[in-house]
Amino acid sequence: MSQTATPVTHERFFVVDFGSQYCQLIARRVRELGCYAEIVMPRDLADRIDEAKGVIFSGSPWSAYDDNAPRIDAAVYERGKPILGICYGMQLTTHLLGGEVEHAEAREYGPARIEVVDSESRLFEGLDSELDVWMSHGDRVEKLPDGFLPIAKTHNAPFAAARHESKPIFGVQFHPEVTHTPQGTQILKNFLFGVCQASGDWTMASFIDEAVEKIRSQVGEHDQVICGLSGGVDSTVAGILIHKAIGDRLTCIFVDNGLLRKGEAQQVLSNFRDRYQIELRFADAGERFLASLAGVVDPEEKRKRIGHDFVEVFKAEARSVENAKFLAQGTLYPDVIESQSAFGGASVTIKTHHNVGGLPEELGFELLEPFRDLFKDEVRAIGRELGVPDTFVERQPFPGPGLGVRIAGEVTAEGLAVLRESDAIVREEIERDGHHKGLWQYFAVLAPVKTVGVMGDERTYENVIAVRAVESTDAMTADWADLPRDVLSRISNRIINEVRGVNRVVYDISTKPPSTIEWE
Ligand code: XMP
């Protein structure tokens, strides 16, 4: 399958990925300020630097003086482009240009206060003379290279920020991109708009216009596009954007695997068919999936069977679309760089599972991936701009295998019915007063046990529903949400009263690690 890049006719800023966990955050901050940012690998910078209006070097877990540390060609400093080195980015610049970087006796992690010593610096224009910043480094600059001047210091580090006396090269030892550096946004603004003279021409509306043009030129006048819908944000917004570009030459395929949440399939149908009049093939394959899952209790075996069935059903539907040459996917930027990060993936902590991804190459389509350079929250913003209803735009992540991995043990039609009703109550009650804001996921799980209860004067022996609600930023780690007692109490009462076959509700108070978010 071939891949496409997003068209870019506006100013570009490069964020060079030296392996920092904050790399993506830097790019996002730059975009929030109205400038287009793209992440670039160190080895590619020298070839591409002329395309950039300015460059930001990220931090890194490495030391600039390590033999295997990620480097760039020092010639980039001679190309006249503005450069801002953050943490390792500053240390690397120092190291490459003849200064000294050493392991610091007193490491600086967490909050620090810096004192500005150079009132002339454009990077700190309009800022207080002392400011709170967030540090996270074990090395420090001991001696600046020739031609560099200090801008700020802390009591531990003489060079908390520095600049070249005449070239637009800057370095900061702290992290302006994190919210713990309250004036960090102003520093980035000063770099982009003061030093680089950015015009701020990146908006969601301009992205949409360009993406529509690019899709039209890639697809041409006659070919058809297939888009696999999962019901999630990315594929929904991709489908609607592509429809805007090529109208009825788009056919969406939605596979109902019978493992969706209450009302989900109907929502997708009515959004695409009624609201947007988009051609939608609906494969009602629930029974097939259920038959494949009969008697299977091992979670990985369930995933395998669900994945296999999905591909088979999708293939059959896709074959029925004539002249289909392209397959559209809602691939996001984190999916793209996961496979090509500077050091083989360890630097990238955001992990997005693709519900409709993973289709085999043998399908023979060209890929259309309009969001390859974007983050999820940017796709949400595009969705809002396109008028996509909140029910889709704000949807919480939902795993590809769906409720199949939220029934611990064998998946049965009865189990699915109990879980679906319980899950709908969990979502409704948590969303009622906006408690879902700030949560990563919140859902019900059907536990693989029955317990004794008493209803009226009767003994019951019924199912247990577990409620899972977690806070997380990237799903790599998660904490259980401290939901108000009355919300938990309403959930419990309603499930036990309204869902036949449940006599106990428990709240999952496990963090990840050592638990995982899903039970399977
Ligand atoms: P865990 O359970 O590993 O989940 O803490 C982390 C995130 O990944 C989602 N998840 C999946 N998504 N297919 C998916 O598309 C899967 O098989 C799968 N397993 C877990 C989970 O919902 C959470 O957001």
- State residue 336's pLDDT score: 66
Confirm whether 175 is a catalytic residue: yes
Q: Looking at residue 448, what is its pLDDT?
A: 97
Please state whether 19 falls in left (phi above 0), alpha (psi between -120 and 50) or beta.
left
Instruction: Considering the candidates 35, 87, 196, 227, report the single residue annotated as catalytic.
Output: 87
C-alpha span between 405 and 520 (Å, rounded): 5
286 Cα: distance to centroid of ligand 1 (angstroms) = 21
Q: Tell me the per-residue pLDDT of 120-145, one tens digit each, with 9 for 90 and over.
A: 899 999 999 999 999 887 899 999 99
Q: Are 404 and 39 in contact (CB under 8 A)?
A: no
Which of 175, 243, 354, 436 does the annotation list as catalytic? Answer: 175
Q: How far is the CA of 353 from the centre of ligand 1 (A)?
A: 7
Read off the DSSP letter of residue 238. H
Write the DSSP string, 378-434: HHHHHHHHTT--HHHHTPPP--TTGGGGTBSS---HHHHHHHHHHHHHHHHHHHHTT
Known catalytic residue: 35? no
In terms of Cα–Cα distance, which of 520, 268, 232, 226 is closest to 355?
232
Per-residue pLDDT tens over the stretch 28-45: 899 999 999 988 999 999
Nearest CA to ligand 1 atom 12: 399
pLDDT exceeds cutoff 50 at 352: no
**275-328 residue pLDDT tens:** 999 999 999 999 999 999 999 999 999 999 999 999 999 999 999 999 899 999
Give percent of the chain above pLDDT 90.
79
Q: Mind listing the pLDDT tens digit for each residue in 8-25?
A: 578 999 999 999 878 888
Least Cα distance to 315 among 226, 207, 413 occurs for 226
CB 5 within 8 A of CB 372: yes
Q: Whose CA is nearest to atom 4 of ligand 1?
A: 517
DSSP alpha helix (H) spans, 190-298: 204-219, 233-246, 264-269, 286-293
Q: Is the CB of 402 inside a 6 Å radius of any atom of ligand 1?
A: no
pLDDT in tens, 251-267: 999 999 999 999 999 99
Check: CB of residue 154 under 8 Å from CB of residue 141: no
Task: Report whether residue 223 contacts ligand 1, using a CB cutoff of 6 Å.
Answer: no
pLDDT in tens, 432-463: 999 999 999 999 999 999 999 999 999 999 99
Domains of the chain: 12-195 (3.40.50.880), 204-393 (3.40.50.620), 406-507 (3.30.300.10)
473 lines ligand 1 (CB under 6 A): no
pLDDT of residue 180: 86
User: For ligand 1, atom 6, which residue shows the shortest CA distance?
Assistant: 475
Comparing C-alpha atoms, which of 368, 447, 430 is closest to residue 396? 430
pLDDT at 353 over 70: no
Choose, from 11, 108, 177, 421, the residue flagged as catalytic: 177
Residue 298 to residues 187, 295, 302, 410, Cα–Cα distance (Å): 52, 9, 6, 8
Q: Name the average pLDDT for the chain.
A: 91
CA of 179 to the centre of ligand 1 (A): 27
CA of 258 to the centre of ligand 1 (A): 18
Is the Cβ atom of 350 under 6 angstroms away from ligand 1?
A: no
φ/ψ of residue 44, rounded to 5: -95, -10
Tell me how far apart the alpha carbons of residues 419 and 421 are, in angstroms, rounded to a whole number.
6
CA of 384 to the centre of ligand 1 (A): 25
Tell me, in angstroms, the distance from the centre of ligand 1 to residue 170's CA: 40
SS3 state of residue 209: helix
What are the pLDDT digits (tens) for 388-432? 999 899 999 999 999 999 999 999 999 999 999 999 999 999 999
Q: What pLDDT was estimated at residue 157?
A: 84
- The per-residue pLDDT for 347 is 37
Answer yes or no: is the C-beta of 355 below 6 A from any ligand 1 atom. Answer: yes
234: three-class secondary structure by DSSP: helix
Q: Given this model, what pLDDT does residue 358 score?
A: 59
For the CA of 515, the nearest atom of ligand 1? 5
Residue for token pair 């008493």: 454
Q: Considering the chain, what percentage of its residues have pLDDT values greater than 70?
A: 93
- Please give the average per-residue pLDDT across 178-197, as a whole number: 95
Is the pLDDT at 85 greater than 60, yes or no? Answer: yes
Residue to mutate (ligand 1; options 230, 300, 306, 353; most atoms within 8 A of CB): 353
pLDDT band at 74 (very low <50, low <70, confident <90, very high): very high
Q: Are 256 and 283 in contact (CB under 8 A)?
A: yes
Instruction: Read off the pLDDT of each residue in 105-115 and give the average, rounded to a whole number.
Output: 84
356 lines ligand 1 (CB under 6 A): no
Tell me the pLDDT tens digit for each residue of 231-243: 899 999 999 999 9
So what's the pLDDT on residue 104? 81
Mean per-residue pLDDT for 332-354?
45
* pLDDT attached to residue 146: 97
Tell me if 286 sits within 8 A of 262, measured CB to CB.
no
Question: Which pLDDT band, with edges at 50, 70 and 90, does 2 fall under?
Answer: very low
**How does pLDDT run across 493-507, given as a tens digit for each residue?**
999 999 999 999 999
- pLDDT at 338 exceeding the cut of 60: no
Strand, helix or coil for residue 173 = coil
Q: Does residue 11 carry a catalytic annotation?
A: no
Strands 54-57 vs 12-16: parallel, antiparallel or unpaired: parallel
